[in-house]
């Protein structure tokens, strides 16, 4: 990220760090980028880049994530900033936040659709599968409502976020149990089967290489 001679590769490594950082040392680098002590040569952080860094800190429960979120809200009070703050808070790793957001997703008609759509992956952040597992069945059962009330691409993002956010054999079994329930439209069945491939592979890999 810092030393590649190709700017495009420096950006690739930056995105990789942003997406995979989880240790205190790696999260410290994210904070250094936010406060300007660390910079990717020739690459200026866009507002969305900064919000993605904040989201990662929130998702991992970093001790300074609350302060980072508050600072970024003050730094970017624009309409987009308010949306990205909503997205970042969806990644908060606690049960109360997940309950509040899931209810908001399905019951708050005044919440802009793109706010919800962009927050689905933060809600289902890759390290929070145990917290979000209780919502998988509810997310599947909500598909008729999603199909009825939301735009076509929203449904695909909904499925991808909630299914790909899981990694366990139990979650996979829950998806297939829903598919066998007979309470699903044929087109929704096909979309689930398409999305569940990633979970199938994850479970198979974990079973073959448990360590």
pLDDT at 152: 87
| Maximum separation of any 2 CA atoms in the chain, in Å | 56
pLDDT tens sequence across 137-175: 999 999 999 999 999 899 999 999 999 999 999 999 999
Per-residue pLDDT of 81-114, as tens digits, reads: 999 999 999 999 999 999 999 999 999 999 999 9
- Does the pLDDT value for residue 133 go beyond 90? yes
Q: List the one residue out of 102, 70, 110, 106 whose CA is nearest residue 88.
A: 70
Give the residue-averaged pLDDT of 200-205: 96
* Nearest-angstrom CA–CA distance, 33 and 89: 20
- Closest by Cα among 109, 176, 112, 164 to 133: 164
Which residues, 6 or more positions from 198, have their beta carbon under 8 angstroms from its beta carbon? 163, 164
Q: Count CA atoms closer than 13 A to 44's CA, side-chain side.
A: 2
Q: Give the mean model confidence (pLDDT) for residues 168-188.
A: 93
The pLDDT confidence band at residue 211, using thresholds 50, 70 and 90, is confident
Integer Cα distance of 45 and 51 in angstroms: 10
Residue 183: is its pLDDT beyond 80?
no
How is the chain split into domains, by residue range? Answer: 95-211
Buried b / exposed e across 166-182, counting CB within 10 Å, b at 16+?
A: bbbeebbebbeebbeee
Q: Average pLDDT, stretch 124-130?
A: 97
192 pLDDT higher than 80: yes
Q: Is residue 6 helix, strand or coil?
A: coil
Q: Exposed/middle/buried for 44, CB within 10 Å: 0-12, 13-18, 19+?
A: exposed
DSSP track, 164-199: HT--SHHHHHHHHHHHTTS-S-HHHHHHHHHHTHHH
pLDDT(24) > 90: yes
For 26-60, write each residue's pLDDT tens digit: 999 999 999 999 999 999 999 999 999 999 999 99
Mean pLDDT of 20-27: 96
Q: What is the DSSP string of 111-169?
A: S-HHHHHHHHHHHT-TT-HHHHGGGHHHHHHTHHHHHHHS-HHHHHHHHHHHHHT--SH
Position 118 confidence tier, pLDDT thresholds 50, 70, 90 = very high
pLDDT of 208 reads 94
Rounded Cα distance between 4 and 121, Å, is: 30
């Amino acid at each position: 990220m810092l030393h590649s001679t190709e700017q495009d590769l420096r950006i690739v490594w930056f995105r990789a760090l942003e997406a995979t950082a989880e240790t205190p040392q790696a999260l410290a680098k994210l904070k250094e980028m936010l406060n300007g002590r660390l910079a990717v040569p020739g690459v200026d952080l866009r507002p969305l880049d900064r919000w993605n860094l904040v989201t990662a800190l929130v998702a991992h429960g970093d001790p300074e994530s609350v302060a980072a979120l508050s600072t970024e809200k003050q730094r970017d009070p624009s309409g987009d900033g308010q949306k990205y703050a909503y997205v970042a808070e969806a990644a908060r790793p606690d049960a109360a936040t997940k309950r509040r957001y899931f209810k908001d997703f399905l019951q708050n008609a005044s919440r802009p659709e793109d706010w919800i759509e962009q927050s689905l992956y933060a809600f289902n952040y890759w390290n929070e599968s145990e917290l979000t597992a209780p919502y998988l069945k509810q997310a599947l059962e909500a598909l008729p409502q999603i199909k009825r009330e939301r735009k076509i691409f929203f449904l695909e993002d909904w499925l991808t976020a909630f299914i790909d956010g899981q990694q366990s054999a139990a979650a996979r079994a829950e998806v297939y149990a829903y598919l066998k329930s007979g309470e699903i439209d044929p087109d929704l069945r096909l979309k689930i089967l398409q999305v569940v491939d990633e979970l199938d592979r994850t479970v198979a890999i974990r079973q073959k290489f448990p360590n």
